Amino acid sequence: MESMGRITPSTLSTKDLPWQILWNKEKCTLCGGCTAVCPVRAIDLGVHRKRSLQIPVGLETKPGNLFAIYHGIDQRTDPAHACVGCGMCTMVCPNGAIAPLHIEGIDKLRFHVNQGGEPRRRGGRRNNPDSVLDKIKFVRISMLTDPALDAGRHEFELRTLLGRVLPPEEMLKVSRENGWMPPVREIYPLVIGSMSFGALSPNMWEGLQMGVAYLNEELGMPVRVCTGEGGCPPRLLKSRFLKYVILQIASGYFGWDEIIHSLPQMKEDPCAIEIKYGQGAKPGDGGLLMWYKVNKLIAAIRGVPQGISLLSPPTHQTKYSIEEAVAKMIQSMSMAWGFRVPVYPKISATSTAMAVLNNLTRNPYAAGLAIDGEDGGTGAAYNVSMDHMGHPIASNLRDAYLTLVKLGKQNEIPLFAGGGIGKNGNLAANAAALVMLGASGVQTGKYIMQAAAGCLGSEGDRCNVCNIGVCPKGITSQDPRLDRRLDPEQVAQRVVDLYLSFDTELKKIVAPLGRSTSLPIGMSDALGINDADAAERLSIKYVL
Amino acid sequence: MCRLFAVTSNDPVSPMMALNALNVMKEGHDGSGVGLFLTDLGGEFEKFKNEPILSGIFSNDGIKALDRFMIDLDFMVKYKLSFRPTKPTPSGTPKRDNYVIRVYEYPAEWEGLSQEEIQFRLMMVQLQLREMGEKDKSMLIFSFWPDVIMIKEVGDPLTVAEYLGLDRKELSARTILSQGRQNTNYSIDIYACHPFFLQGMSTMTNGENTAFVPIREFLMSRNFPGYAGYQSDSEVFTHILHYMQNKLGMGMEMYKHIITPLKDDELVRHPDGKMLRNLKQSCRPLIIDGPNCVIGCLPDKTMFMVQDSKKLRPGVVGGRPGIFAFSSEMCGLDAAIPERDINLDDQPMRYETVIIRRERQEIEKWNQWDALPHLH
């Protein structure tokens, strides 16, 4: 006869899990809030039998046992229900009786998250807190030879350009001949990176759009948000707010039927079109929206049946070469909007990025290049792609900028850098470092989710369940019961807060460097790092 | 901080006038260097208006190398003024063998070349000589151009002037730029000494150029051999001027629009806002961030002064018909031209460009808000 407590190779104890639930029986009110809120049902109501020994004084009565029952928490240990450390249980507990605790050392769960032969998939990021960008310091302080500026009182013009900027000679020629001048947008250098309608909940999307609209219309900050690959709600497509939106097209073409059909009704041109060829979090892999999240609304916007996983191919299937991919797609998209909208590709950082860039320099319609580094985030991907594939952004961006300098085209093709900016909370410092390494602007997604919506993800593999639609904050869920936890108005307010604080911090960085009249793109003499190899690689100062 | 003094006069004046004015402003410079740009020359050099003049410092070996090089190119010396100082060198000034100013006759085979080609070749000769001299420090070349003399040395301006005997009668000019103190933010290098020169135009600058590196990268990537050097962050002001005039074919009225363009919301209100916005975008890497006062001289001998758009450096222009001076300090101007109407002095502000044309009759003032004179 088989015993009830069967041990299999994947039988784990709570000690083997990355997160353990600490529960205090004395404080617990048995309200059940924690078990109800847990996104992965890692905890159950536990009924525990407890024996206490009864040892009376004297010899007359023999010692005995008293069996009692108490109720509490059981942490499940099977891989599908392992605690993800989100801490929602702590948040809802009225008495502070419960909390997840990360174990020290390496967990054993990682060896068992491939049940049924399916490797781990998750949302999130690379889970590595290391950041070269954090190590970069701004060392060229204006003081006596050139007075520093006052971040609070001086005027600053820190906008950037998105679009193909003609070299001066050609610009003058085109002006003289009334020729075609490529569209150029003057935008704020911090762009909300592509997060799709589908990857994000409707409430999150609405909150972002409202925040961006407020920043533009009330505060005069030309902030732009990219849709990601998932289309765009028709109401937005036909509104005046479309001009604040960068529409993304990717290899699944999701949502583009709706966009094309809305063209005649568009009151405004979109800010730009981003053609996604790659994503930093999962380079060489296509977009992924798992079936859990494909509800009626998402299916309608994307033009697909409900409840199926939406896997975009790793590349645009109709193209076989870079020349064709870039030329055809950029020109088709430009033509769709009468050559009035900048069209640029986004690629994942890679050692082959320079080939793409060189190609773009020869394409007069290419409006820029966005490069997404390995530290970028995603709503869903294979763990191995996230953890091990890709190229850091700093050196890739620097190489790209210096390649353009060599060609004399550093002002013609704006580079936008993404992937890990603000991963440890240092958004403005990371963004400024990338700008001074040569980026015209930066794109960020995770920081926005964390600051504007309270995303619980961290670089320590916390939460990361964006892929299965159970986001406990309602940020990446597609279940109205979860979505309603997120108030779009409050998200909008936080978007405004974070942009205003970013703006102040950016000024606090550039003002001491003596810069205010233009974004200090490529001002690499201001940068230093206390790592000689990194300094040499990035052509910046080595400082100790 | 540097001290700058420039004078433009219908009658040739000695460079000592400028150097004395610098000396009055001595409190404001550390005397670590002096630079002079003389054009519209008087004295002996008046006879050679069209022949190129080489200015530089040479070791005895350097002179021999120069002779060999120039003879190979078929340049013949027509006139020369060399100083071989015999006095003890002032403290801080290195011992040099020869300070050379030589007028050359063009090679016969250059005859019939276009003006543009001649100017390009002159620049290339200057660059080649400079490169030759950099190997063994045997030559320092400051200019090779008709009607232009440049003198630079490390040390206190007046002491150096006395040491070199710059009060000699052969040396006089109607237009002079002078600067006291090198750009000591970087290592002391005579090539870092203002004024800077390229193909007939020269500028000198007060203050540090915080946007130096991106500007330098932009200029160096224009594939024009003259955009080189950059021992000083102020050299880019000369090269931006050159790029604007010679590469973009624009007049002086556009200089401010390139280095200190109007803000985005200002451009909306400017009559030529659309064109200026395109220019601002295309020339974005050339935007400076001050604090800078730039004084310069164009090939047509027009002298100008502009300021950055925010931090500003002191700069005043004053004089009377026939003679005007640009000075970084009022006391310099007072010393040079005391008999002038000080009410007509002008201190250009953030939007302004002040110019004195070769006729030297009045201070002309332009504002960036003015409509552009001729767009196309």
Interface contact flag, A184 B309, Cβ < 8 Å: no
Q: Is B351 inside any structural domain?
A: yes
Rounded to the nearest angstrom, the minimum Cα separation between B213 and chain A is 6
Residues of chain B scoring pLDDT < 70: 1, 28-31, 182-187, 374-376
Q: Is residue B29 part of a domain?
A: yes
Q: Which of A244, A247, A238, A232 is nearest to A265 (CA)?
A: A238
Contact (CB, 8 A) for A242 and A268 = yes
Q: How many CA atoms lie within 13 A of B213 on its CB side?
A: 17
Query: Per residue, what are the HEC states of chain B?
Result: CCEEEEEEEEEEECHHHHHHHHHHCHHHCCCCCEEEEEEEECHHHHHHCCCEEEEEEECHHHHHHHHHHHHHCCCEEEEEEEECCCCCCCCCCCCCCEEEEEEEECCHHHCCCCHHHHHHHHHHHHHHHHHHHHHHCCEEEEEEEECEEEEEECCCHHHHHHHHCCCCCCCCEEEEEEEECCCCCCCCCHHHCCCEEECCEEEEEECCCCCHHHHHHHHHCCCCCCCCCCCCCCHHHHHHHHHHHHHCCCCHHHHHHHHCCCCHHHHCCCCCHHHHHHHHHHCHHHCCCCCCEEEEECCCCCEEEEECCCCCCCCEEEEECCEEEEECCHHHHHHHCCCCCHHHCECCCCCEEEEECCCCCCCEEEECCCCCCCCC
Tell which residue, A355, A469, A360, has the closest CA to residue A413: A360
With tokens 């003094």, the residue in question is B5
In Å, how far are A33, A338, B107, B361 from B121, measured between CA atoms? 85, 47, 11, 35
| Shortest CA distance from A150: residue in chain B | B311
Domain of residue B17, residue span: 3-49+147-367
Per CATH, the number for A14-118 is 3.30.70
pLDDT in the model for residue A158: 94
Where helices occur in A189-272 by DSSP H, the ranges are: 202-217, 234-237, 256-262
Q: HSE, CB side, 13 Å, CA atoms: give it for residue A111.
A: 8
Nearest to B309 among A515, A517, A520 (CB): A517
Tell me whether strands B201-206 and B316-320 are parallel, antiparallel or unpaired: unpaired
pLDDT at position B356 is 98
Residues of chain B positioned with their CB less than 8 A from the CB of A507: none
pLDDT the model gives residue B187: 61
Asked whether the beta carbons of A457 and A125 are under 8 A apart, the reply is yes
Q: Return phi, psi of residue B19, to 5°.
A: -70, -35
Q: CA angle, corner A319, sides to A315 and A323, nearest 5?
A: 110
**Residue that is written with structure tokens 């109401």 in the block:** A235
* SS3 annotation, A311-351: ECCCCCCCCCCHHHHHHHHHHHHHHHCCCCCCEEEEEECCC
Helix or strand (DSSP H, E) at A275: strand A272-276
Rounded Cα distance between B54 and B57, Å, is 10
Give CA–CA dist B54/B281, Å, rounded.
38
Tokens, residue A449: 């989710």
Q: Which residues of A touch B245 (CB under 8 A)?
A: none
ipTM, two decimals: 0.94
What's the pLDDT at A145?
72
Distance CA B28, CA B329 (A): 9
Residue by residue, pLDDT tens for chain A (544 residues) are 556 678 999 999 999 999 999 999 999 999 999 999 999 999 999 999 999 998 888 888 888 999 999 999 999 999 999 999 999 999 999 999 999 999 998 999 999 999 999 999 999 999 999 999 999 999 999 887 777 788 888 889 999 999 999 999 999 999 999 999 999 999 999 999 999 999 999 999 999 999 999 999 999 999 999 999 989 999 999 999 999 999 999 999 999 999 999 999 999 999 999 999 999 999 988 888 989 999 999 999 888 999 999 988 888 877 677 777 778 889 999 999 999 999 999 999 999 999 999 999 999 999 999 999 999 999 999 999 999 999 999 999 999 999 999 999 999 999 999 999 999 999 999 999 999 999 999 999 999 999 999 999 999 999 999 999 999 999 999 999 999 999 999 999 999 999 999 999 999 999 999 999 999 999 999 999 999 999 999 999 999 9
What is the SS3 string spanning A51-118? EEEECCCCCCCCCEEEEEEEEEEEECCCHHHCCCCCCHHHHHCCCCCEEEEECCCCCCHHHCCCHHHC
3-class SS at A44?
strand
Structural domain total, chain B: 1
CB contact under 8 A, A410 and B309: no
CB contact under 8 A, B207 and A142: no
Phi-psi region of A31 (alpha: psi -120 to 50; beta: other; left: phi over 0): alpha
Query: How far does CA A250 lie from the centroid of its chain?
Result: 17
CB-count exposure of residue A230 (10 Å: 0-12, 13-18, 19+): buried
Side chain identity at residue A175, one-letter code: S
Backbone angles phi, psi at B203, to 5 degrees: -140, 160
How far is CA B187 from each of CA A143, A456, B182, rounded to the nearest angstrom? 18, 51, 9
Q: What's the confidence (pLDDT) of residue B186?
A: 56
- The contacts of residue A30 (CB under 8 Å, 6+ apart) are A71, A72
The Cα A368–Cα B231 span in angstroms is: 33
Q: Is the dihedral of CA A129, A133, A136, A140 positive or negative?
A: negative
For residue B136, being part of any structural domain is answered with no
pLDDT value at residue A314? 86
Token code pair at residue A83: 């605690």
Q: Is A210 left (phi over 0), alpha (psi -120 to 50) or beta?
A: alpha
> Chain A residue with minimal CA distance to B184?
A145
Q: How far is CA B67 from CA B48, B81, B100, B139, B363, in A?
A: 20, 15, 12, 12, 44
Residues near A369 by beta carbon (within 8 Å), at least 6 away in sequence: A344, A345, A346, A347, A356, A357, A360, A400, A413, A414, A415, A416
- Residue B104, domain member (yes or no): no
Residue of A nearest to B313 (CA): A146
Assigned domain for B247 exists: yes
**The pair of three-digit structure tokens given for residue B140, joined into one six-digit string:** 């320092």
CATH number reported for the structural domain that contains residue B151 in this entry? 3.60.20.10
Q: Quickly list DSSP for A496-514.
A: HHHHHHHHHHHHHHHTTTT
Is B177 a domain residue? yes
**CA A348, A353, A357: angle at the middle one, nearest 5?**
120
Token pair in block for residue A502: 């970013």
CB atoms within 10 A of CB A435: 27
Helix, strand, coil percentages for chain A (3-state, nearest 5):
35, 20, 50
Q: Which two tokens stand for residue B102?
A: 């030589």
Search chain A and give the residue with CA nearest B183: A145
Q: Residues A146, B18, B208, CA angle at the centre, nearest 5°?
A: 10
How far off is chain A from B309, nearest CA to CA, in Å?
A: 8
- Distance from C-alpha of A403 to C-alpha of A89, rounded to nearest angstrom: 51
Closest Cβ–Cβ partner in B210, B221, B285 for A515: B210
Q: What pLDDT score does B28 carry? A: 64
Contacts of B210 in chain A (CB under 8 A): 142, 146, 513-515, 523
CA distance A346 to A348: 7
Contact B180, B2 (CB under 8 A): yes
pTM for the complete prediction?
0.95
pLDDT digits (tens, 9 = 90+) for A339-371: 999 999 999 999 999 999 999 999 999 999 999
- Whether residue A63 has a cis bond before it, omega within 30° of 0: no
| Inter-chain CB proximity A411 and B247 less than 8 Å | no
The number of C-alpha atoms within 13 Å of A348 and in the hemisphere containing its C-beta is: 24
Supply the mean pLDDT for chain A.
94
A14 and A75 Cβ atoms separated by less than 8 Å: yes
Structural domain boundaries in chain A: 14-118, 154-455+482-508
**What is Dmax (Cα atoms) for chain B?**
63
Query: Which residues between 192 and 221 in chain B have a beta carbon less than 8 angstroms from any beta carbon of chain A?
Result: 207-208, 210-214, 217-218, 221
A154-455+482-508 adopts what CATH topology?
A: TIM Barrel (3.20.20)
Q: What are phi and psi of A20, to 5 degrees?
A: -115, 140
C-alpha A165/C-alpha A414 separation (Å) is 8
Is residue B158 assigned to a domain?
Answer: yes
Smallest Cα–Cα separation from A402: which of A524, A254, A531? A524
Task: Indicate whether B165 belongs to any domain.
Answer: yes
SS3 A522: coil
Q: A302 by DSSP, 3-state: which?
A: helix
Contacts of B290 in chain A (CB under 8 A): 146, 514, 517
Spell out which residues of chain B touch residue A518, defining contact as CB-CB under 8 Å.
211, 284, 287, 289
